[in-house]
Amino acid sequence: MRIISSPALLAAAEQVLGRIIDTLFRPAIRVTNSKIREIFETGSADVLRSFGEACRAEFDALRSQQF
């Protein structure tokens, strides 16, 4: 991935990795139903959104070069 991907895509992948590591080392907390709803409604738990958007942008750029 590091060889063929753009710097933007690599940065997005590194952000995902960072959030996963932060989550693993965060102290365990009790999550209430209202907190779960808040996380769902704000999208704050979607760690792959920016990575997916970066992948899509790179794919579109590569596809436009081919046609």
**Three-state secondary-structure class, residue 27:** coil
Give the separation between CA 55 and CA 58, rounded to whole angstroms: 5
Q: pTM to 2 decimals?
A: 0.71
Query: If you write DSSP's letter for every residue of 33-67 in order, what string do you get?
Result: HHHHHHHHHHTTT-TTHHHHHHHHHHHHHHHHHH-
- What is the separation of C-alpha 43 from the centre of its chain, rounded to a whole number of angstroms? 11
Instruction: Kindly state the tokens that stand for 21.
Output: 């590591």
Domain ranges of the chain: 7-66
pLDDT level of residue 39 (50, 70, 90 thresholds): confident
Question: How confident is the model over 12-35, as pLDDT tens digits?
Answer: 999 999 988 988 898 887 888 888
Q: What is the mean pLDDT of the chain?
A: 87
